[in-house]
Amino acid sequence: MREVKMYIGGKWVEALSGETFPTYNPATGEEIARVPRAGPEDVDRAVEAARAAMEGPWGTRITPRERARLLWKLASLMRDRFEELLHLEVENSGKAITGVAGELQQAVENFEYFGGLADKIFGRTAPAAPYLFHYTVREPVGVAAQIIPWNYPLMMLSWKLAPALAAGCAVVVKPASATPLTALKMAELIEEAGFPPGVVNIVTGPGTEVGRYLVQHPGVDKVAFTGETSTGREIMKLAADGIKRVSLELGGKSPNIVFEDADLEGAIPGSLWAIFTSGGQSCEARSRILVHESLLDEFVEKFSEKASSLKVGDPMDPSTHIGSLISPSHWERVHSYVRLGVEEGARVVTGGGRPDDPALSRGSFYRPTVLAPVSMEMKVAQEEIFGPVAAIIPFREEEEAIALANKTRYGLAATLWTRDSARAHRVAAAIKAGVVTVNHPFTAFPGTPFGGYKESGFGRELGMEALDLYTEVKSVMILTRPKPVNPWKV
């Protein structure tokens, strides 16, 4: 049994209360470590350490190029310890190793990308008056609280940390309670890379206590949150009193539209990955598959056949497509949605429960599941299931497909399958979502802005726009004529 510590002010510490909580391997149900259960007094010291860093050399003297070097050093240490990080992430998340390797690769590249941007955070000049020289500078927003979900623990950490550190902020990170281990492991690399004490602090504990307290803390200037829409709504309210800057990456119910002119050779495997990768525990999971009625029977048959052939199994096995869901309670939630879909009138074409293999009985494994036909009035078409459940929804016309795609409170991602490039542009323009992909399922690369419309949140991470989340713009105006101004002629 591992005992891990939090990282606050450059020191490895236990919670001041001495309390801990367990974390598990979801694939086996085994407890794998005990983690400090932070309380308000631990959050206080983390925020104090971050403020001290902002008031010390990190906030006042470090050059952007030095920040770049630190970020690259961190990326290089991650490359050196890739296997260690990978195995720990798989062990704590239960997800299939090949997918996690891709996420980790992206996390490394994300630090490199933002390292490259650290000395390119430009202001601009803009005409103000003929006798003034006006320019803008972008300054770090200060101390950022960063709250992370369990579905992509390390990748989400990189989406938060890399732009904040590039911009010169100090941070207090709170990983999800289900998956704290890789964030704490990253703190070792952060220390080794040479980030000064207090620049990155990691506190662990329940969101409803530690997260809540952190968001309201007067020493925090900015809150960056990724998680459920309902939590985001609460966080926005909690941050309101302090007029804190807020960015929210929230849930989704993203459409995947298969038009009548789609190439099914690409559309079927692509749609399969788009919903089932990460076991469907993905904010941008394309969980609503809108299929033109002329293709419906063929699509449902071939898609379901391929879904049932996916390997659900040991997450450490490179041939596994889908590992375990995060926890038994999440398994129950996913399963209750499948039952609800049946009550609402859909058919379970494939999946709908645990795999038969007795070796998997201790984990939270769920078979890839296809519900068909589904209509947008059903809850399974409206609510985020966050599991390997695809809802197939038929449509007749392009306009109808657009209307159905947009008929949700979410707006995170969408995928279109069509051979008609004019249609691709037309429909991409009409979809209310932060990212639209055409003829492929991949949504997120370092450099491509990612974030939501509507109740999927606001703010863009991953692209250059992420720097806006961690900087304030200051306008400076300097008198350039020799004669002073005397506005009132007094």
The residue ranges that bind ligand NAD (CB under 6 A) are 147-152, 156, 174, 176-177, 207-208, 211-212, 215, 226-228, 231, 234-235, 249-252, 283, 384, 386, 412, 452, 456-457
Distance in Å, CB of 36 to ligand NAD, minimum: 14
State the catalytic residue, choosing from 48, 91, 283, 455: 283
Question: Within 10 Å of residue 326's Cβ, how many Cβ atoms?
Answer: 25
Q: 473, exposed or middle or buried, with CB in 10 Å at 0-12, 13-18, 19+?
A: exposed
Q: What is the dihedral of CA 464, 468, 470, 472, to 10 degrees?
A: 140
Of 277, 322, 317, 320, the C-alpha closest to 106 is 277
Provide φ and ψ at 203, rounded to 5°.
-115, 140
The token pair at 159 is 């989406």
Name the catalytic one among 48, 91, 249, 461.
249
- Residue 98 and residue 69: Cα distance in Å, rounded? 29
**What's the distance, Cα to Cα, between the start and end of the chain in Å?**
78
Residue 168 or 255 with smaller CB distance to ligand NAD? 255
Judged by beta carbon, residue 78 or residue 155, the one nearer ligand NAD is: 155
Segments in 14-152 forming alpha helices (H): 40-55, 57-60, 64-80, 82-93, 97-117
Closer to ligand NAD by CB, 45 or 160: give it. 160
86, 97 contact by CB (below 8 A): yes
Nearer to ligand NAD, 72 or 453 (CB): 453
Residue 156's nearest CA partner among 134, 130, 178 is 178
- Give min distance, CB of 232 to ligand NAD, in A: 7
Please confirm, yes or no, whether 283 is among the known catalytic residues.
Answer: yes
Neighbouring residues of 101: CB distance < 8 A, sequence distance ≥ 6: 86
Reply yes or no on whether 249 is catalytic: yes
CA gap 40, 215 in Å, rounded: 11
Min dist CB 114 to ligand NAD, Å, is 17
Residues composing the chain: 490
Three-state DSSP state, 297: helix
The residue to which tokens 């989704």 are assigned? 252
Which residue number, 84 or 228, has a Cβ lying nearer to ligand NAD?
228
| Minimum distance of ligand NAD from residue 450's CB (angstroms) | 6
Question: Nearest approach, Cβ of 29 to ligand NAD (angstroms)?
Answer: 19
Nearer to ligand NAD, 35 or 250 (CB): 250
Residues 6+ apart with CB under 8 A from 80: none
Beta carbon of residue 456, minimum distance to ligand NAD (angstroms, whole number)? 6
Q: Shortest gap between Cβ of 183 and ligand NAD (angstroms)? A: 10
Q: Which residues are catalytic?
A: 249, 283
